[in-house]
Amino acid sequence: MSTIVSPSLLAADFMNLGRDSEMLNNSEADWFHIDIMDGMFVPNISYGFSVLKPLSKVAKKPLDVHLMIEKPERYIEEFYKAGASILTVHYEASIHLHRTIQQIKSLGMKAGVALNPHTPVSILDDIIQDLDLVLLMSVNPGYGGQSFIEHAVEKTKKLRKMIDDRQLNTIIEIDGGVNFETGKKLVDAGANALVAGSFVFNAKEPKEAIRGLKQL
Q: How confident is the model at residue 49 (pLDDT cuts 50, 70, 90)?
A: confident
Q: How confident is the model at residue 137 (pLDDT cuts 50, 70, 90)?
A: very high
The average pLDDT across 106-128 equals: 97
Question: Quick one: what percent of the chain has pLDDT higher than 90?
Answer: 88
The predicted model scores a pTM of 0.95
Report the pLDDT value the prediction gives residue 143, as an integer from 0 to 100.
64
3-class DSSP assignment, residue 170: coil
Q: Which residues are catalytic?
A: 35, 175
Where do the domains of the chain lie, and which CATH numbers do they carry?
4-214 (3.20.20.70)
**Best CA proximity match to 160, nearest among 120, 180, 168:** 168
Cα-flanking dihedrals φ and ψ of residue 106, to 5°? -65, -20
What is the rounded CA–CA span in Å between residue 80 and residue 138? 27
The average pLDDT across 112-134 equals: 97
